[in-house]
Amino acid sequence: MSEPPHADVQLRFACTEHSVGGQKGAVMYLRISEDRARKARPRKRRRASLLASHLEVRTFNVGHGEAVLVTFDNGRAWLMDCGSNSVPRNERLGNHIIDYLEENDAVLDTIVASHPHFDHAGAIETILGSASPNVASPVTIYRTDIREWISSSGWRQRYADAVAARGADVDEILLLSAHREVTISDHASAHIYVGARDGVYTSLFVHLRYRESRLLFTGDAYCGYEVELLNAFGSADFRADVLKITHHGSSSGTAATIVNEVRPGLAIASTGDHGGHRLERDTLDRLGGRPGPRAIFETVVDGDIILRTDGMSYGGGILYEAEFESPGRFAESLGGEILRLAYVDSTRTVSDHPNCV
């Protein structure tokens, strides 16, 4: 197979609202309502107030893995997974995150380790090993209470050793079949949901609420597990403007049922040029296709995806600012590529999975 074509960044930024990867600083405004994202043109004053106080969600292009940093209006930060696909890359990613926190004067309060996979949690040991004042003391980790986290060798053992070495400076909270509500700031809270066992894919889901905005993070999950959580906790708890697509867009996740209940206006995925890390054709169809009234962004096409919201209404939706940094701040050192949308479209596949349709 010939080399996949790499996107021309300048060219890509001039294209449609559903495919807008661009160089640093490329910004667009969206008003997001149920199942729909529309371009917005807020006045200067509203833009300034959004910039002055907002929630920021930064989905880094980390190649084959996932790392999303959420910074709240009080300068505290949560990391929703942090992993890439090799030991040296995970070490670099952990150090990049520490540098990023220091540069931006943010304090990492909480790490959500959605499930025990290397490409989601492999960089956490480096972060825990850091003496940086930008990692809170104690830093909280949420993870599932499943045996797949335990191993006497490899990265899971090193993770456990890093937790033990940090001692009282880490508060590791283990959850199973649970709902936990966490207050983050005056206007921000997180609701964390975990179902019963689904093997290594028993994922923590996080529903972030900032003023009127809602964002749902779903780790890597199968459709059956998504539906189980929906049935256990109710659709009102899952409605969101933004859906972090589960399992990098694999066919085995993103049930039609959950799309219909979450009704996201915008969906984002951490993707790479590889089955298992690709936003597949059937997943895309369940999200309503592209282009559609819903906006869909993915890291292998758009680079780092940065969303900011003041959590307040605008023209019948919630105002978001979307910025794209291509190929992504850490992409080069982590093997994160940028590919043309047409090429990625040509590689998407379809496969049958129960509970998805």
Point out which span in 155-163, 193-201, 213-221, 278-286 binds Zn ion (CB under 5 A).
213-221
Residue number, 21 or 63, with CB nearest to Zn ion: 63
Point out which span in 55-63, 68-76, 215-223, 234-242 binds Zn ion (CB under 5 A).
215-223
Cα distance between residue 339 and residue 201, in whole Å: 28
Q: Per-residue contact track with Zn ion, 81 to 100, x per CB under 5 A?
A: --------------------
Residue number, 78 or 118, with CB nearest to Zn ion: 118
Residues 6+ positions from 270 with CB-CB distance below 8 Å: 59, 61, 62, 65, 66, 67, 68, 248, 277, 298, 299
Residue 4 DSSP one-character state: P
Residue in 100, 125, 355 with CA at minimum distance from that of residue 224: 355
Residue number, 184 or 245, with CB nearest to Zn ion: 245
CB 94, CB 125: distance < 8 Å = yes
Size, binding site for Zn ion by CB under 5 A: 2
Point out which span in 6-14, 117-125, 159-167, 335-343 binds Zn ion (CB under 5 A).
117-125
Residue in 351, 346, 299, 356 with CA at minimum distance from that of residue 5: 346
Min CB(269)–Zn ion separation in Å: 10
Residue number, 109 or 220, with CB nearest to Zn ion: 220
81, 220, 302, 325: residue in contact with Zn ion (rule CB under 5 A) = 220
Point out which span in 103-111, 217-225, 310-318, 342-350 binds Zn ion (CB under 5 A).
217-225
Cα distance between residue 274 and residue 64, in whole Å: 8
Min CB(66)–Zn ion separation in Å: 6
Q: Per-residue contact track with Zn ion, 170 to 209, x per CB under 5 A?
A: ----------------------------------------
Q: Please give the residue whose beta carbon sits closest to Zn ion in the complex.
A: 220
Residue number, 35 or 148, with CB nearest to Zn ion: 148
What share of residues in the chain are helix, strand, coil (percent, to 5)?
30, 30, 40
CB 91, CB 98: distance < 8 Å = no
Point out which span in 19-27, 32-40, 111-119, 164-172 binds Zn ion (CB under 5 A).
111-119
Spatial strand order in the sheet of 36-39: 36-39, 26-33, 317-325, 304-314, 55-59, 66-71, 76-83, 107-112, 135-144, 170-175
Vertex 49, ends 324 and 43: CA angle to 5°? 80
Site residues (CB under 5 A) for Zn ion?
A: 119, 220
